[in-house]
Structure 1
Amino acid sequence: MRKIAVFASGEGSNAENIAAYFASGSKARVALILSNRPDAAVLGRARGLGIESAVFDRDTFYNSDRIPELLAERGIDYVVLAGFLWLVPDNLLRAYRGRIVNVHPSLLPRHGGKGMYGDRVHRAVVEAGDRETGITVHRVDGVYDGGDVLARYRVPVGAGDTAEDVARKVHALEYRYFPVEIEKEIDKL
């Protein structure tokens, strides 16, 4: 069975959804949830799911090998970013080359890059007058929202849609398709 580590910075609804998706199968499971925020709600979700969690600070993440070492100690095969807002450092990219995936809440390259996450993206979609948006599942490289695109899923944006309306539509896509795309990638390992 493959082991997944999920990195998250906030609420953790995607992390919980991914854990639930894999809980019923035998291919993989979420074995570790990591956060850069000690007050992140995702840590409470991890406790509720009985999944080990860990918190790290900026210095540990960027100036040590502790995170790749922790993942290796836990036998982690695959890394998922689910609302994790820091750029992944080179040591982690090297350790998990081609095995780190992220979901972005727009159709990249539109509305991507540093500082473009969550509601900021949904507001940008509405302000730009986009007629569609969606999610982009992509491999992670050393550039914000860079990396090879694995899949895009689309939804229409109505003329009267607010950023909150767009967020609901995009979250529904994330919950439905992000775990499926992760599973496809794990099947290739």
Structure 2
Amino acid sequence: MLNIMIFASGSGTNAENIIKHFSNSDLARVSCVLTNNPNAGVIARAEKMNIPVRAFSKTDMKSEEFSTFLKENADFIVLAGFLLMVPKAIISEFHGRMINIHPALLPKYGGKGMYGMHVHQAVVENREKESGITIHYVNEHYDEGAIIFQKAVTLSDSDSPEDVAAKIHRLEQENFPMIIENLLKELNAG
């Protein structure tokens, strides 16, 4: 049984969806949710589903103790609305086993500060005809890791940033857990 650790900073809808997806799996389970935000909605969502939660600071994340905890307890790391840069040592340790989801079609609308409604606002302001999600490996640069999966959705001229967010959220809910499962099957087979 593979252990998935989810890093999240916000409300936790993607984390909850992933936890549900793997709740009866023989392949993997979500063993812990980690958050840098002690007020994040993901905490209540995880606890409601009996998933342990560990809050940490930016300083904690750079510690040897934190790194050891991950090495000993995680087979795969999923960033689901996690806003901090992951330290290079952790990225190196989990090379090919750490992924992120981004609410746009990278390389457009990626990089530091481009998350959540900031992305959707920029997409609307630039009158984009489509947006979507990108699932990618994590590297030392925000949103620049190798792309694993992208899915687009058509936008209309009347879409508000909130409308775009709702369309993107549907794509995340439909696709993220299955992409994780496929990657874990490959990892398990290798």
| TM-score, length of structure 2 as denominator length | 0.96
Q: Check the 8 A contact 1:67/1:92 in 2, yes or no.
A: no
Provide Cα deviations, 1:2-27, integer angstroms capped at 9, x if missing partner. 11000000100100000001112211
Rounded Cα–Cα distance in structure 2 between residues aligned with 1:58 and 1:23: 29
Corresponding position: 1:139 with 2:137: yes
Q: CA deviation at 1:29?
A: 0.7
Q: Within 5 Å, which residues of 2 pair with 1:50-129?
A: 50-62=50-62, 64-74=63-73, 76-129=74-127
Q: CA deviation at 1:41?
A: 1.1
Corresponding position: 1:44 with 2:69: no
Rounded Cα–Cα distance in structure 1 between residues aligned with 2:59 and 2:6: 20
Q: CA deviation at 1:66?
A: 2.3
Q: Check the 8 A contact 1:18/1:179 in 2, yes or no.
A: yes
Corresponding position: 1:170 with 2:168: yes
Provide Cα deviations, 1:26-47, integer angstroms capped at 9, x if missing partner. 1111001000011111111111
| Amino acid corresponding to residue 42 of structure 1 in structure 2 | V
Rounded Cα–Cα distance in structure 2 between residues aligned with 1:66 and 1:91: 12
Rounded Cα–Cα distance in structure 2 between residues aligned with 1:150 and 1:67: 27
Identity of aligned residues (%): 44
Rounded Cα–Cα distance in structure 2 between residues aligned with 1:25 and 1:89: 30
Which range moves more in the overlay, 169-178 or 65-74? Answer: 65-74
Q: CA deviation at 1:163?
A: 0.3
Q: Secondary structure at the match of 2:100?
A: strand
Q: CA deviation at 1:72?
A: 2.6
Count how many residue pairs are aligned between Structure 1 and Structure 2: 187
Q: Which runs of 5+ in 2 are unaligned?
A: none
The equivalent residue for 1:160 is 158
Provide Cα deviations, 1:49-102, integer angstroms capped at 9, x if missing partner. 10111011111113x12222112332x100000000011101111211110000
Q: Secondary structure at the match of 1:151?
A: strand
Q: Check the 8 A contact 2:61/2:67 in 1, yes or no.
A: no
The equivalent residue for 2:11 is 11
Rounded Cα–Cα distance in structure 2 between residues aligned with 1:187 and 1:140: 19
| Amino acid corresponding to residue 79 of structure 1 in structure 2 | I
| Amino acid corresponding to residue 57 of structure 1 in structure 2 | S
Q: CA deviation at 1:146?
A: 1.1
Rounded Cα–Cα distance in structure 2 between residues aligned with 1:124 and 1:4: 32
